[in-house]
């Protein structure tokens, strides 16, 4: 079975075949023999202690102190280069302490946009590039969710 | 004699204190906010009382509710833990006024050390060096700018009432002074209910070294050696160790003498910590006194063998110190890592969530003080610390390697933590050489990305899960020993098919 | 220098040794029988090799398979753990002949101490007292009866080749001699592959006290103090502690001198234990030398701060002892309880099963060396020990209370264990007074039943589960913090309805 | 809902009613208010840390170092006084080393019946009272399961 996984570094294509009590996994042109025993994932005879959990559609994998997050990758999506997103989103749930800009303001790279507080810590979100503020969707005192859009910018302003 | 203790705190420290009480045969009372009804600390006591809505100001900082809970449950003593009301003299006084024992110093000592400007004055009077500072800067911008110039840049703005990095800002140039001053004041007000801040010369590349003290009600004071807490992010400690690799016997003698002098000057009682900056030239400066148990107390317990929580309880009920200074001998080396819900790849932003998998390291010399459990949703209202991992080793190098092994074994899924970052710090040559100072992270890890050593193995694990989810009768764990493993807990997984 | 270690063992001790190797940066190889393919120790190494079918004789005792596994994986050293082949001189020799390092004493020392009659002779030669015995009793009934009469009753029949209570019988009257002799011989043959047994006068109400030694390849020998292991059932230790409440400084000096004399007499290398009986009149008698790591080694590690497994590895690679006798200082008190799959209400019958719930205690001073995990089916082929719980405290009383608290927190469901019995032993006045001796259990617990202090609360818990299973949308955990708890993992429950 | 549980000490009758976020439980004529929070079972304000597991139809409950095993009790069954069972069952899985009696043998209390080995330990099963051996179902060398009937006695022989 062919499986495509995507993490922040790109797409990984794998081919997984069950073969008796083992799996044959092809990845990056290399073929590996894989077995599962208790918490051990045995790849070509080398054991790794692995723990996994769901995170929505994604899978989290803990291994040797690292945590990896893989999403299923459908062929239709294409990897894009990182560009500054026009939406300013909350990196975590919390509370808006101060909104530092208004609609129409022009901001330079690094200029403060909003001050928020979460887990007793005050954090300032700044502009990633020069931009014009197009929308402001929150006000001081608002409770916000992680990922919520706080304002919309137009870059290159 | 204390019979029933109410612990006015949450998370790992509440659990640690409750366990200490249970071992001493005391009955225990936990308190919890509405956000913590399912929190592990709540279940760790004989009784538990809900003290209000999620925001700390309405629950863990609500003195009336806490005293009421103690009265209602018949507790005769209150342990404040750290943070929240631990350094609030009014709380300590309210506890005493209610006829209960406050497990900590006197309100007078908390007040006198809690006011950083007063603490500095007392240190100077006790002959202990301090850094140049303005204890009561004016708030009017022009006057503030002038006052800051007199202290000298770089300077630090700090909350008069608090500690732990909250309400703290470094200012390197006069142009940033005004905004930083306002932000620090706001944070201080929110965290401590007191918005006053002060200015202090910033010592470059210092180490943060602190001395643990224990004092009884009969005038006896001892120290338990130092801790170095230089590895910090967001001005908050993340790795602590004892002994400090930079503290020679001569420095230790001078620094512990200074700590004892300050403790005696304020008639200190119970456990406390005297914090110093240690400069590269081995000079040191008094910073402040934390009039409470410290987060990092386990490493002192590991090297001295003295249980600080149980010592606090015994002192609080009037027992004369059973330890002479010469009985207190540090053995080996201990290191602590704070495990927080935070993302080291995103400037240590808090990262609350539900812990879907938790496996804590164990083994000889490994101690985990945890406040969470699998399935627990970390509330957004409180400090992001989930647990503390402390290790002991015969040498610093043995402790360092044990810590790396333990961090590699530590599994927390559902909340991002700094575990992979901590491993990188511990493996850095500068750390293994003991070249630690408070700018360690800024200097050695100006930019950090999650390591990808195991990316392909992790992908194989995820892919096999996907395959098993589609074809549950396929290969893998089988035979008479088939049991629930992580591999078998998964349901549907959407994948592209060949 | 050792680079890759194969651990020729299973369960908790394999995991503990593998962890020690990992901390030292060594790569690791586990071995497992077909019954242990899903065992936690198997997953704890970098590589794992299947060494045969479930019976130990075809796997963990199979020298050819073990040497082959080491060769195949490129291991350069083998650690035998305890039990299995740990005290088998032929195995140690085979390891050496294969060009590998055996992490333990020389084959000659194992052989000379493994033969109990020879060990006795060497002890006598070294000036160490021994109990009256017949080292090679005749097997013909009449001659055996006469030989036993000369030794004197009560007497003990013990395996010449083994330890740990296997192949051991007490005989108080001549009439039981013949059957006991035969049974002991059978057990000895099955456990050690050597059916020879010997007779020994039985000292009444003795304490079992042993001395830990470490010796390098350069003639240096040190001791790490004593352990008392008097609390036994089925002639096997179940609770151990250090220091012994009965050992005065004078006894300690004499006993450790005796242990060092014996170690020097056999040119002992690596870790070993010299066992003694301590009589109520403070006289002591040499019993035997265990030429390996002991089950109960953690308590010595807890009080001395010396990692015995890592010491074994360093000694095995030729490192001269880095410890002088005066550097080794015991601090505080440590107690260990063995947690076995056994039923204390049924004469400690083994009780294998599948572990359906496992929650290990934790906290300051608590160490769990575990060989099992939730979901693991304990094989019937091996020793029933699941884990060891060890605690450290500043005093014996602090350690005792910590142990009781930890045992109360320990949850193992699916296998019956002695946890409730151990709590009763630790809470017994005779234990808290230090009045321990090898008949402690027979004397104070001739009959024991599971305590019923919490029966009604437990019934309420079971009944609420039943109710929730029938009406899953009923009251209980709810709201945003609803998570998987034990209460929600249950399905159908057949109940009578109103 | 009325629930009957049975353990080795007898039958416990309970009445459990869900009432909002709590339960009202009647046991032995006493009424208790019970709440569940995480691992805490709160009975009349006192918290107990409880862990449970299934064991066939039974439930295992761990609490404060004790383990309790409750089976559902149907009214049809009646509690009997303990009498020596005629079947001699294996207390654990293992191997028969020796059978000490034959069919027709008369045995006295404490007489050995069978020697078995499990987990490297040799154990002798003895007669609980004077009896006559009616059936012997195993022989030396047999592997046995826990609970398996090894022989059948007739007491009072």
Kindly indicate the confidence band of residue B472, based on its pLDDT and cuts at 50, 70 and 90: low
Measured between alpha carbons, how far is D40 from D26 in angstroms, rounded to an integer? Answer: 19
Interface contact B394-C25, CB threshold 8 A: no
Interchain proximity B42–D40, CB inside 8 Å: yes
Handedness of CA C447, C451, C456, C459 (dihedral sign): negative
Q: Does B85 touch chain D (CB under 8 A)?
A: no
SS (H, E, C) C273-307: EEEEEECCCCCEEEEEEECCCCCCHHHHHHHHCCC
Could you list the active site residues of C? Answer: 292
Write the pLDDT tens digit of every residue in D52-64: 999 888 999 999 9
Q: Give mean pLDDT, residues B447-453.
A: 94
Quote the percentage of chain B above a pLDDT of 90: 82
H helices, E strands: number in chain C: 16, 21
Q: What whole-number percentage of chain B has pLDDT above 70?
A: 94
As a whole number of angstroms, the distance between CA B287 and CA B229 comes to 13
- Name the residue among B23, B362, B481 with its Cβ closest to that of C405: B23
Contact D68 C186 (CB under 8 A): no
Q: What is the pLDDT of residue A75?
A: 61
Q: Which of A92-96, B36-40, B50-54, C159-163 has the lowest mean pLDDT?
A: C159-163
> Which residues of chain A lie closer than 8 angstroms to C47, CB-CB?
45-47
Minimum CA–CA partner of B476 in chain C: C38
Count Cβ–Cβ pairs < 8 Å, chain B vs chain C.
104
Q: Choose the closest CB to A52 out of B350, B454, B461.
A: B461
The set of residues, in sequence order, having a beta carbon less than 8 Å from that of C188 and lying 6+ positions away, is C159, C160, C161, C162, C166, C167, C194, C195, C196, C197
Phi, psi angle pair for A41, to nearest 5°:
-105, 115
Alpha-carbon distances of C289 from C123, C187, C212, C312, rounded to whole Å: 10, 20, 10, 17
Please give, rounded to a whole number of angstroms, the shortest distance from the CA of C348 to a CA of chain D.
Answer: 10
Best C54, C238, C347, C411 member to test D by mutation, with max D CBs in 10 Å, is C411
Q: Indicate the residue of B331, B368, B482 with minimum beta-carbon distance to C331.
A: B331
Considering only C92-96, C226-230, D34-38, which range has the smallest mean pLDDT? D34-38
Look at residues B285, B227, D146, B458 and name the one whose alpha carbon lies nearest to residue C351.
D146
B38 closest CB neighbour out of D37, D42, D49 = D37
Distance CA C255, CA C264 (A): 14
Which residues, other chains included, contact C66 with Cβ-Cβ below 8 Å and sequence gap of 6+? C6, C8, C31, C51, C78, C85, C91
Cis-peptide, bond into residue C243, ω within 30° of zero:
yes
Q: Please, which pLDDT band fits residue C163 given cuts at 50, 70 and 90?
A: low
Phi, psi values for residue C286, rounded to 5°: -65, 135
pLDDT at D33 over 80: yes
Calculate how close chain D gets to C222, using CA atoms only, in Å.
Answer: 34
Q: Is the separation of the CB atoms in B262 and B286 below 8 Å?
A: yes
Give yes or no for residue B314 having a pLDDT over 90: yes
B196-236 residue pLDDT tens:
998 988 888 999 999 999 999 999 999 999 999 999 998 89
Which residue in chain D is spatially nearest to B43 when comparing CA positions? D40
Higher pLDDT, B334 or A55: B334
pLDDT at B157 over 90: yes
Distance from CA of C474 to the nearest CA of A (A): 27
Smallest Cα distance from C336 to chain D, Å: 16
DSSP A81: -
pLDDT surpassing 90 at residue B475: no
- Please report the pLDDT score of residue D84 as a whole number: 62
Query: Is B24 in Cβ contact with C363 (below 8 Å)?
Result: no
Average pLDDT score over residue span C382-405: 97
The runs of H, that is alpha helices, within C62-115 are 63-73, 89-97, 107-114
Burial of B445 (0-12, 13-18, 19+ CB in 10 A): middle
pLDDT tens digits, C282-339: 999 999 999 999 999 999 999 999 999 999 999 999 999 999 999 999 999 999 999 9
Q: What is the pLDDT of residues B264-304, one digit of tens each?
A: 999 999 999 999 999 998 999 999 999 999 999 999 999 99
Mean pLDDT across C253-266: 97
φ and ψ of A78, to 5 deg? -115, 140
* pLDDT value for B327: 93
pLDDT reading at B423 higher than 70: yes
Average confidence (pLDDT) over C456-466: 93
Distance CA C280, CA B177 (A): 77
Q: Give the pLDDT score at A83.
A: 53
Cβ separation A38–C38 shorter than 8 A: yes
ipTM, 2 decimals? 0.84
Helices (H), chain A: none
**C485 close to D (CB below 8 A):** yes
Q: Does C486 contact D51 at a Cβ distance shorter than 8 Å?
A: yes
Q: Quick check: B401 and C24 CB within 8 A?
A: yes
**A/D touch flag: 3 or more CB pairs below 8 Å:** no
Pseudo-torsion of CA A38, A43, A45, A48, nearest 10°? -50
E-strand spans in B180-320?
197-201, 207-215, 221-233, 236-242, 270-278, 284-290
Q: A touches C (3+ CB pairs < 8 Å)? A: yes
For chain A, residues with pLDDT lower than 70 are 75-84, 157
In DSSP notation, B114-157 reads HSHHHHHHHHHHTT--B--EESS---SHHHHHHHHHHH-SSEEE
**Contact C364/B481, CB-based, under 8 Å?**
no
Residue of D21, D47, D63 to mutate when probing chain B, most B C-beta within 10 A: D47
Q: What is the pLDDT of residues D98-122, one digit of tens each?
A: 899 999 999 887 788 988 887 777 7
Alpha-carbon gap: C329 to the closest alpha carbon of chain D (Å) = 34
Average predicted confidence (pLDDT) for chain C? 92
**DSSP single-letter state for residue B59:** T
β-strand pairing of A58-63 with B77-79:
unpaired
With CA atoms as reference, the chain B residue closest to D50 would be: B43
> Which residues in C lie closer than 8 A to residue D123 (C-beta atoms)?
347, 349
Give how far B489 is from chain A: nearest CA, Å: 9
d(CA C236, CA C239): 9
Which residue in the set C40, C45, C46 is minimally distant from A38, CB to CB?
Answer: C40
Question: Given a contact as 3+ CB pairs under 8 Å, which chains touch D?
Answer: B, C
Residue B494 with chain A: CB contacts under 8 Å? 57, 72
Q: Chain C partners of D16 at a C-beta cutoff of 8 Å?
A: 463-464, 466-467
Nearest chain C alpha carbon to B309:
C364
For the whole model, what pTM was predicted? 0.86
Q: Which residue has the higher pLDDT, B350 or C441?
A: C441
Q: How far apart are the first and last CA of chain D?
A: 47
Residue C479 scores a pLDDT above 70: no
Question: Residue B46: its chain D contacts at CB < 8 A?
Answer: 46-47
Contact A37 C48 (CB under 8 A): yes
Distance CA(D20)–CA(D40), nearest Å, equals 18
Contact A62 B457 (CB under 8 A): no
pLDDT at B484 over 60: no
Which of residues B347 and C496 earns the better pLDDT score?
B347
Q: Which residues of C fall within a CB distance of 8 Å from B362?
A: 360, 362, 367-368, 370
How far apart are the C-alpha atoms of B158 and B167, rounded to whole Å?
6
Structure tokens at C102: 């055996």
Q: From the candidates C459, C474, C481, which should be mutated to test the interface with D, based on the most D CB atoms within 10 A? A: C459
Chain A residue numbers with beta carbons less than 8 Å from the beta carbon of B407 are: 65
Mean pLDDT of chain B: 92
Residue B91 per-residue DSSP state: H
Given a cut of 90, whether residue D130 has pLDDT beyond it is no
Chosen from B36, B43, B46, B48 to mutate, greatest number of chain D CBs within 10 A = B43
> Which chain B residues touch A119 with a CB distance below 8 Å?
341, 350, 352, 380-384
Tens digits of residue pLDDT in B343-372: 999 889 888 899 999 999 999 999 999 999
List the catalytic residues of B: 292
Nearest CA in chain D to C186: D122
How far is C462 from chain A, CA to nearest CA, in Å?
30
Q: In chain B, whose CA is at the least distance from the CA of A20?
A: B475
B376 and chain D in contact, CB less than 8 A: yes
Residue C496 has pLDDT above 80, yes or no: no
Rounded to a whole number, what is the distance in Å from the CA of A138 to chain C's nearest CA? Answer: 24
- The pLDDT value given to residue C481: 34
């Amino acid at each position: 079975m062919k499986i495509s996984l995507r993490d922040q570094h790109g797409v990984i294509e794998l081919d997984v075949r069950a073969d008796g009590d083992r799996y044959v996994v092809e990845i990056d042109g290399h073929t590996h023999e894989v077995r599962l025993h208790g918490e051990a994932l045995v790849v070509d005879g080398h054991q790794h202690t692995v723990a996994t959990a769901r995170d929505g559609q994604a899978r989290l994998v803990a291994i040797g102190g690292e945590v990896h997050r893989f999403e299923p990758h459908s062929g239709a999506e294409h990897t894009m280069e990182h560009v500054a997103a026009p939406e300013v989103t909350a990196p975590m749930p919390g509370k808006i302490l101060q909104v530092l800009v208004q609609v129409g303001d022009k901001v330079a790279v690094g200029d403060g946009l909003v001050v928020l507080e979460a887990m007793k810590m005050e954090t300032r979100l700044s502009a990633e590039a020069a931009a014009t503020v197009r929308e402001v969707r929150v006000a001081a005192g608002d409770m916000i969710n992680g990922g919520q859009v706080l304002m919309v910018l137009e870059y290159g302003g | 004699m204390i019979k029933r203790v109410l612990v006015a705190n949450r998370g790992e420290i509440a659990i640690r204190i409750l366990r200490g009480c249970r071992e001493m045969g005391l009955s225990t009372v936990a308190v919890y906010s509405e956000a913590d009804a399912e929190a592990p600390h709540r279940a760790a006591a004989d009784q538990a009382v809900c003290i209000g809505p999620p925001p700390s100001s309405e629950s863990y900082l609500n003195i009336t509710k806490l005293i009421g809970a103690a009265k209602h449950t018949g507790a005769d003593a209150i342990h404040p833990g750290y943070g929240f009301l631990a350094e609030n003299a009014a709380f300590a006084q309210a506890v005493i006024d209610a006829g209960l024992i406050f497990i900590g110093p006197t309100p007078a000592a908390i007040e006198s050390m809690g006011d950083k400007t007063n603490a500095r004055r007392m240190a100077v009077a006790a002959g202990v060096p301090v850094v140049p500072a303005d204890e009561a800067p004016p708030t009017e911008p022009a006057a503030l700018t002038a006052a800051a110039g007199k202290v000298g840049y770089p300077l630090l703005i700090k909350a008069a009432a608090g500690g732990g990095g909250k309400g703290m800002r470094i200012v390197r140039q006069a142009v940033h002074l005004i905004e930083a001053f306002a932000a620090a004041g706001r944070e201080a007000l929110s965290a401590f209910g007191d918005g006053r801040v002060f200015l202090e010369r910033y010592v470059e590349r210092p180490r943060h070294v602190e001395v643990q003290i224990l004092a009884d009600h009969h005038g006896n004071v001892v120290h338990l050696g130092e801790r170095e807490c230089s590895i910090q992010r967001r001005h908050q400690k993340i790795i602590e160790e004892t002994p400090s690799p930079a503290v020679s016997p001569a420095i230790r003698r001078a620094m512990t003498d200074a700590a004892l002098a300050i403790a005696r000057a304020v008639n200190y009682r119970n456990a406390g910590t005297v914090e110093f900056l240690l400069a590269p030239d081995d000079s040191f400066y008094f910073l402040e006194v934390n009039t409470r148990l410290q987060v990092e107390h386990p490493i002192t317990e590991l090297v001295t063998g003295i249980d600080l929580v149980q010592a606090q309880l015994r002192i609080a009920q009037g027992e004369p110190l059973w330890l002479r200074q010469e009985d207190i001998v540090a053995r080996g080396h201990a290191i602590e890592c704070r495990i927080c819900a935070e993302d080291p790849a995103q400037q240590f932003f808090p990262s609350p969530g539900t812990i879907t998998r938790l496996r804590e390291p164990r083994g000889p010399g490994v101690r985990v003080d945890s406040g969470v459990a699998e399935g627990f949703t970390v509330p957004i209202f409180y400090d992001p610390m989930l647990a503390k991992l402390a290790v002991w080793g015969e040498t610093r190098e043995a402790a360092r390697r044990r810590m790396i092994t333990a961090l590699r074994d530590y599994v927390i899924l559902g909340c991002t933590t700094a575990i992979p970052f901590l491993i990188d710090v511990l493996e850095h040559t500068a750390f293994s050489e003991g070249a630690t100072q408070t700018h360690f992270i800024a200097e050695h890890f100006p930019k950090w990305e999650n390591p990808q050593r195991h990316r392909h193995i992790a992908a194989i694990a995820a892919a096999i899960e996907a395959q098993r989810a589609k074809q549950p009768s396929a290969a893998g764990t089988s035979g008479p020993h088939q049991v629930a493993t992580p591999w078998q807990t998964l349901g549907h997984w959407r994948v592209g098919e060949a």
